[in-house]
Structure 1
Amino acid sequence: MLRIEHLTKIFGEKVAVDNLNLHIKPGEIYGFIGHNGAGKTTTLRSVVGIQQFDSGEIYIDGISIKADPIACKQMLAYIPDNPDLYEFMTGIKYLNFIADIFEVSAAQRQARIRDYADRFELTADLASPIASYSHGMRQKLAIVSAWLHNPRLIVMDEPFVGLDPKASRHLKDMMREVCDSGGAIFFSTHVLEVAERLCDKVAVIKQGRLVRFGTVEEVKGDDSLEDAFLELEGQQ
């Protein structure tokens, strides 16, 4: 589904991502963890085609993001850590705008908007301008918009920030539904308890380098994922 090969990104004299290799298969929820500045966001932005990289390759379902970015973007959805939504639009206009971009039929978009907006208790607010939304409401709207075109790969940067416990549970259920239908999830998080319970596999990045990856059990061993992460962070 997603194959990252020798990804390297340099900003000036700083190597943000250093020869990173990772393979995410269909059906996997893959967590990406590391401290602030470790290279997580740079990697995610490279995967979705909004951050150019210096060397390496990224393939989505066998298609190079460099060679055919449009084909890749049609198969994926991306939720950044701070969704930048069009505040002058109402929620429903924004969702229809996204559905138009991905050529989602009227019947499909209506059914999906009804389903996902109801789950997040957002339906009553869709007629209101996004400028009036709280951070949590904007995060919910971004999630609904990401699911509209039934993407095969969903990439998210800290998706649980700003969500209440009920909304977090709905998002976890939706992530599993995507993978049960043959899709894949790649997301970063600082909430290691969530990663430990939810993920099939995790990868730990430190100073741009991948330091450990595999199943949750392989990465954490006999410790909690938090303890394993802190141990890795303490290693030089």
Structure 2
Amino acid sequence: MSRVNAASELPPHDPGTALSIRNLHKSFGSKAAVDGIDLDVPSGSFYGLVGPNGAGKTTTLSMATGLLRPDGGQVSIHGVDVWRDPIAAKSMVGVLSDGVRLFDRLTGTQLVEYAGLLSGMDRPTATQRTADLLKLLDLEKDGGTLVVDYSAGMTKKIALACAMVHAPRLLVLDEPFESVDPVSAANIRDILAGFVRGGGTVIVSSHVMDLVQRMCDHVAVITAGRVVASGTVDDVRGASTLEDRFVELVGGRRVGEGPEWLQHS
């Protein structure tokens, strides 16, 4: 029996919490992809979610944003239960999911306007916000180009525009910098930092520890479907770098010079 709506798992809503996750579970066959995750993301934070491949990051974010139904546990966004009141919860969150295809036979302008209309806004508002976002993301001259013809960096930026057009309070971004050139990545980071300064909350998953250390103020480390450390970046990394602390927590480092046949001196 599903435990998604089990009462009493979530504490009373704290106005200072943007996302609250309690005892979240998800299995695929005999494999537990997410195994009892608890997590609180403070409002106004830039929160990094890091973990090795297969750790459960994408599954966790998909359940947290209503894209994938959990086997058990609860999730709330600003106090609204994602599975009891999905429309209200989803109206407060913008999502950029890794690997999810866009309607790429639309132009960039059409795609963002369509995202706005789907969120319930009227066409004039959707049109104006689309123009504002394309200017912000340096995509004005490419608004009339089909998304299928965009570069990887442009595609990430237009997907970010779709996630932001309805003015969400929370942005959840799964690997937003993967396959993105340095210039586009820097522009995206600046936009997200401005969003946080304006009172929004950002959750970003990434494999690049140095990027997370420089960009985020909070971080959670996930491995084998569980949170093994969470808190401010300084608290989690301690006296070491975030990368060294990450490897220490998840394991897997191989020490050695390699086989003899690789040595040339």
The change in CA–CA distance for 1:215 and 1:182 in structure 2 (over 3 A counts) is: same
- 1:141-160 alignment runs, 5 A limit: 141-160=158-177
The letter for the 2-side match of 1:151 is P
Q: Deviations over 1:130-165 (max 9, x none)?
A: 222222221111011111111001111000112222
Is the 1:91–1:125 Cα contact (8 Å) retained in structure 2? yes
Q: Any conservation in 2 of the 1:192–1:226 contact (CA below 8 Å)? A: yes
Q: For residues 18-45 of structure 1, what are the alpha-carbon distances to aligned partners after superposition, in whole Å with 9 as ceiling and x for unaligned?
A: 1111101111011000000000000000
For residues 9-88 of structure 1, the aligned pairs below 5 Å read 9-88=26-105
Q: Which runs of 5+ in 2 are unaligned?
A: 1-17, 253-265
Q: Which moved more, 1:50-59 or 1:173-182?
A: 173-182
Secondary structure of the equivalent of 1:127? coil
Could you say what the CA RMSD is over the residues aligned between the two structures, in angstroms?
1.5
TM-superposed deviation, 1:62: 0.7
Structure with more relative contact order (C-alpha pairs < 8 Å, separation 6 or more): 1
Whole-angstrom CA distance in 1 between matches of 2:184 and 2:127:
21
Query: What is aligned with 1:218?
Result: 235
Tell which deviates more after alignment, 161-170 or 194-203: 161-170
TM-score, normalising length: structure 1: 0.94
CA contact 1:58–1:64 (8 Å) conserved in 2: yes
Q: From 87, 92, 95, give the equivalent of 2:109.
A: 92
Quick one: distance in 1 between partners of 2:20 and 2:64? Answer: 9
Alignment match, 1:115: 132
8 Å contact kept, 1:196–1:225: yes
**Residue 5 of structure 1 is aligned with which of 22, 25, 35?**
22
* CA displacement at 1:117 relative to structure 2: 1.7
Alpha-carbon shift at residue 106 of structure 1 (Å) = 4.8
Q: Is the 8 A contact 1:38 1:206 kept in 2?
A: yes
Q: How many residues in Structure 1 have an aligned counterpart in Structure 2?
A: 235
Amino acid at match of 2:133: Y
Indicate the residue corresponding to 2:182 in structure 1.
165
Higher mean C-alpha displacement, 153-162 vs 173-182: 173-182
Q: Please name the residue that 1:233 is paired with.
A: 250
Q: 1:130 aligns with which of 135, 147, 153?
A: 147
Query: Residue type of the partner of 2:183?
Result: K
Deviates more, 1:104-113 or 1:208-217: 104-113
* Counterpart for residue 178 of structure 1: 195
TM-aligned CA deviation for residue 128 of structure 1: 1.5
Max radius of gyration: which structure?
Answer: 2
Identity across matched positions, percent: 38
Question: What letter matches 2:188 in structure 1?
Answer: L
Q: Which residue of 2 aligns with 1:192?
A: 209
Measure, in 2, the Cα distance between the counterparts of 1:71 and 1:80: 20
C-alpha distance in 2, partners of 1:207/1:61? 27
8 Å CA contact 1:156, 1:188 repeated in 2: yes
Q: Distance in 1 between matches of 2:241 and 2:173?
A: 23
The one of 72, 93, 103 aligned to 2:120: 103
Task: Provide the TM-score with structure 2 as the length reference.
Answer: 0.84
Runs of 5+ unmatched residues, structure 1:
none
